[in-house]
Amino acid sequence: MNKKFRKAVYTVGMLASLVATSACTNLDEKVYDTLVNENFYNTREEVISAVLRPYTHANAWATPGQDGWWRLSEYSADQLAWPVKGRHGQDGGKWIRLHYHTWTGDDASIQQAWNLMYWGMGLCTSPIEALEGRDISNMGITEEEKAAFIAELKLFRAFHYLKIMDIWGNVPIVTQVGVPVSPTTAPRNEVFNFIEKEILENIEKIPVLSATMTGRMSRAGAYAMLVELYLNAEVWTGTARWDDCIAAANQIINGNAGAQNGQMALDPNITDAFKPDNHLSKETIFALAYEFQKSNTQPQWTADFFYFNQRAITGGGRNGNDGTVVIPGVYATFPTADLRKTAWMLHGPQMRFDDPTQPVLGSNDEYQGQPVVFVDNIRKNLEAIRNGTDPELLPSDMTTGEGTSGVRFNKYQLGHIAHPSYNSTDWHFYRLTWVYFAKAEALMRKNAGVATAEAVELINASKQRAYTATDWPTYAYTPATLTLTELLAERGREFIFEGFRRQDLIRFGRFHTDSWWDHQPTDINKTLFAIPNNQRVLNPNLAQNAGYN
């Protein structure tokens, strides 16, 4: 892999922050803190720093840790929640509103997501304008490099728009910084068409995926965007595009879009894509790259996922906010024989990394100084024990948790502190397993929901890694057992924590109709989030989504 580039993403890339802060966060704001293009883009290093800057910003909105696409997508769905645990986790009730679908256009979490995502989009648009408007003789790059950089930025901007469309549906399409001053809302199908056009016009202008494109938008990433676009086309536009989804998936599966490490292939083990050295993964398509050892930058998702005393569990140097838990009952949907159940989640007594004979002790909660035992429920167990009552009779909802309530995240591994790649685990936006599942679903949708032999083969190729050779024959799918309902369940098991659950539930018609744990069915209008009201004050041309006026 190209470690020089991985460092560049998080060091040189930061130099461009001043160039592109005109990011359309508030779409009608005048910006006074940008540099004049003629005073920047005067060296190859300055050009590259501007091209890479949007990738560093994606850490803020596309992964857990801040209020962005990931949090809105996962905490509103049926697998993960951030409940109140004792004195922790109230946070103005924002996690509660996400879980119960009671958010409004005034929610700070929705406002922050809009700000961060449109800011990132602007960090793409600003250098596009600068590169298009200047001659290469003044920038130290070739015409070929200029064209490739512009195409890469347009594709990464399309990635922002795809996620923005996923969350809000009907949004403005802006391709110039500050123009127009108050853009009007475009309907979702127009946004879809814009994204598709941007991808198709630029996909052949950028390199295929290779080690030198680690952490950047490559041809493989662009095809993965098309897969996502066409997989959800029926929801997003009213017209199914299953054949297009299959065709885009085949470009990746057949190796036509390149690979980060040799030939594109599924990793042999379920942990390979999530290890500290997962830059060696065979199935990486597009990921956010980290290089802690050289750039001192690190993933931010520990804040959402880690317990207060996580260092004792992992042997690393980072703790968290004791936030995210697996919703009660989800853990039980994984068969006991499913290796993902123990590899990707923490349940039961937690033992010290440096001495597995000793328990990890609680910190900063009701279990201070007591052994930490993560349980598959959210209730006041300690209180019941002290009162001599049956914990099973206690209420269980978003307000009744304790410090150790809920099964916990263990999917991505930062490694112990002495690991050569400690704290440098890349976060996947797309991996080959996800493409396999998308193609299988498209094949089934075309076939009236019935699994074809190829669909079964695709899902079994992924799922088989989660079982021993002895157990596998019991759990292998057949065309009869791989129903659409079962496919959604298996998607939940395979992609838990990865950000796609809300999108999946909506596509299967389950997001607003299903009950889970203490969550009850909600209004279909909640399949889109509210346009932030503070943005509508700034820009009166922003139309609110249905159900929020």
Domain ranges of the chain: 39-204+526-548, 207-289+428-511, 301-334+345-409
The yes-or-no verdict on residue 303 having pLDDT over 50 is yes
Q: What is the pLDDT of residue 352?
A: 98
What's the pLDDT band for 295 if we cut at 50, 70, 90?
A: confident
Name the DSSP class of 326.
Answer: E
Q: Write down the pTM of the prediction.
A: 0.93
Give the CB-side neighbour count of residue 100, counting CA atoms within 13 A.
Answer: 13
Of 530, 524, 510, nearest to 77 by C-alpha is: 510
| Across 369-387, average pLDDT | 95
Q: What is the pLDDT of residue 31?
A: 37
> Which residues, 6+ apart, have CB-to-CB distance to 488 below 8 Å?
504, 505, 508, 510
Nearest-angstrom CA–CA distance, 13 and 45: 9
Nearest-angstrom CA–CA distance, 186 and 171: 5
| Across 199-218, average pLDDT | 97
- Assigned architecture for domain 39-204+526-548: Alpha Horseshoe (1.25)
Name the DSSP class of 430.
Answer: E
3-state secondary structure of 374: strand
What's the pLDDT band for 38 if we cut at 50, 70, 90?
A: low
The yes-or-no verdict on residue 27 having pLDDT over 90 is no
Lowest average pLDDT, out of 194-198, 258-262, 382-386, 401-405, goes to 382-386
Q: What is the pLDDT of residue 20?
A: 37
- At 107-156, the pLDDT tens digits run 999 999 999 999 999 999 999 999 999 899 888 999 999 999 999 999 99
- At 69-85, the pLDDT tens digits run 999 999 999 999 999 99
| Across 288-302, average pLDDT | 91
The yes-or-no verdict on residue 494 having pLDDT over 70 is yes
| Across 179-185, average pLDDT | 95
The yes-or-no verdict on residue 416 having pLDDT over 60 is yes
The yes-or-no verdict on residue 371 having pLDDT over 50 is yes
Q: How many Cβ atoms from other residues are within 10 Å of residue 371's Cβ?
A: 14
Domain 207-289+428-511, CATH 1.25.40.10 — does that match?
A: yes
What's the pLDDT band for 39 if we cut at 50, 70, 90?
A: low
Q: Do the beta carbons of residue 325 and residue 307 sit within 8 Å?
A: no
What's the pLDDT band for 25 if we cut at 50, 70, 90?
A: very low
Q: What is the pLDDT of residue 481?
A: 98
| Across 509-534, average pLDDT | 98
Arithmetic mean of pLDDT over the chain: 93
Nearest-angstrom CA–CA distance, 366 and 369: 9
Tell me whether the CATH fold assigned to 39-204+526-548 matches the one assigned to 207-289+428-511: yes
What's the pLDDT band for 7 if we cut at 50, 70, 90?
A: very low
Q: What is the pLDDT of residue 34?
A: 47
